[in-house]
Structure 1
Amino acid sequence: MRIVIAPDSFKESLSAENCCKAIQKGIKKILPDAATLLIPMADGGEGTLSCLFNSVKGKIIRCKVHDPLSRQITASYGIMEKGKTALIEMAEASGLTLIPPKKRNPMITTSFGTGELIRDALEKGCEKIILTLGGVATNDAGIGMAQALGFKFLDKKGKEIPKGAYGLKFLDRIDTALVHPKLKNTEFFLCCDVKNPLCGKNGSAQIYGPQKGASPKMVKEIDKNLFHLSKIIKKDLGLSILKKAGTGAAGGAGGGAIAFFNGKVQSGIKTVIELTNLEEKIKGADMVITGEGKIDQQTLFGKTVAGVASLAKKQHVPVIAFCGQISGEIKKLHDLGITAIFSIVPGPIKEEESLKKTSLYLQRKTEEVMRVLKIFIK
């Protein structure tokens, strides 16, 4: 029996790599002769870098950059395809996890560090940047990363505006005279499955601002500032980004990357599937096992489980999905290609304890499923 193991991470508890290992342990305990292929997955957001570099031949680059509060840190990105393509995860330098909850404030946090990673990649000769959007502490619409690449965001007096979403209200003019010379010949692909616009009731501040530390008052101000930014972008760069899907991703960095870098939005999970060559690896498998922390209606829209299941369905390979929590109507998920969905949680339990024991619960649930499967193996 050949089983492909391709889960996403269980957020805040277990990485995709460790999910793979837990599932493999459960399989081997019951079916020791089963051949297993471990392919840690991600949907183009946080964790994509570590997942891809388990499957793709490349080199990890570490460099000194600034975190969202402008403190110096060491962050990583990957270079692949003979040094011509860089994979940069925004969460590496601008991530929410870099800032303690009490210090989170999107009015002042900046995406400058992500721009420093991009600059380093350009100077190493990369001509294509794959930028994964998600998991950021910022709501500055990517002006920080643009500043690191030479863009000047000036007020009416010709002075640079303050960092973060707060400074956007002072913006009067975007100066591109000193933009990094290699930028114009570089392709940017934005891994993003978020469809939210830049601002408005479904915009980045309204939907994601609170998790970045924004109070209701801040949310309103940030939303207003983002609208102002969109007007300046239209005036100075000739681009209308206000209603474009995905511009609200990563605190508006999706919109910024489209405006400043001519970025092209593409599905995160499709990008990961392509780079890991998952379709080829599923061919001839007897089963695929996938999973993520929560399976619900959102799973249908660009999440890892949906991407893996639809790929397996095309090849008539059954799919088992594990999760911590199942929510909502799941018939559409079955229609998508998931044969069966199992929650790994053993019963009523505190979330804290559940998060600590995710690996154990995942292994145990895998064992139980394999016991049932073993009945039918001759």
Structure 2
Amino acid sequence: MGRNGWKRARDNFSIEHEKYNLLLLLGEFDVEQPKPDVVNAPFEMRVSVVIPVYNAGAFVREAVESALQQPETQEVVLVEDGSLDNSLEVCEALANEYEKVKFYRHPGGENRGAGATRNLGIEKSQYEYIAFLDADDYFLPNRFRIAKRMFANDPTLEGVYDPIQRMGISEASHQRLQNEFELQTTLRRVPPQVLFEHIIINRPFLLQGLIVKNNVFEKAGLFNMNLRRHQDVEWIRRLAATCRIAAGSIDTPVTILRIHDNNRVSGVVAPSRERLEHRLLLHEATLRWRKTLLPPSRSWLIVWRAVWVISRNPASWKSEGEKGLLMIRNIAQLVYRVPSFLVVDIFGGT
């Protein structure tokens, strides 16, 4: 792509991006509010709750029982991922105790990561609706009340997301939460047609607050097993780009997400360079996927986000021989053949 083509694509993206932000600012999107607790006809929502388990022996029983307390839950699909604690024994005991609890492991009891573990749970699920819960979190009462009403009143809807509430259970986690949002979902009601753009720019909703129809995996695919971190965010992006997903509540949590020192991801305080690399791998994975499905105008937004991440971490990307600069060049080239001088103009270097 020559300089004129690059400038034309950039300008088109900028126009769409600014129009989107202006509409959000002015509240011009016609976003339907959830309807009252009235279902027009008898409606049954049968839910499979998928719970990946890794080193969560101290918490998994509460997670499972919180799911079983929901009247819509027809099964809890436990998938143990090669834990090093007593999770295996606790999962086996729960499966023996509750008929609705189905228990699975990877062949040979291997540890394959959260993506592969959730995928196995999805493949084993038997019901039309699938919800996700981590083994160290738990559902609040009436977890599916709003979602059930929305699905009943809108058959075209493919997923509903609600807020989650973060809760620190140690002094260190309390201190970390002081600098984070305790309640997490989208900042406002976002129309499904621009949800992808919104969650690229802003805070996304979380997997633990989401329930979907089981046919969404035919459109969005399964979780990316090549990502050790952020595979949930990467899948949510694909979901938002391909399916009709709407907000239930934006201020009432349905799930408690525990923050503690042994969380698989949130409990790990990685060096800034490592965190940067994982974020860029997230953007790269989204771009690789989008090449077959998303127009260039939507891909530009991901490149912009990757540039923003790099620019906020200059000490990280300049370390180890311009590793970050090389990564952002590779990311940009996934969308267009970006002239090197443009990247150099932004970041410097050679």
TM-score normalised by L of structure 1: 0.30
Richer in strand (by share): 1
Which structure has more helix as a fraction of its residues? 2
Normalising by structure 2, report the TM-score: 0.31
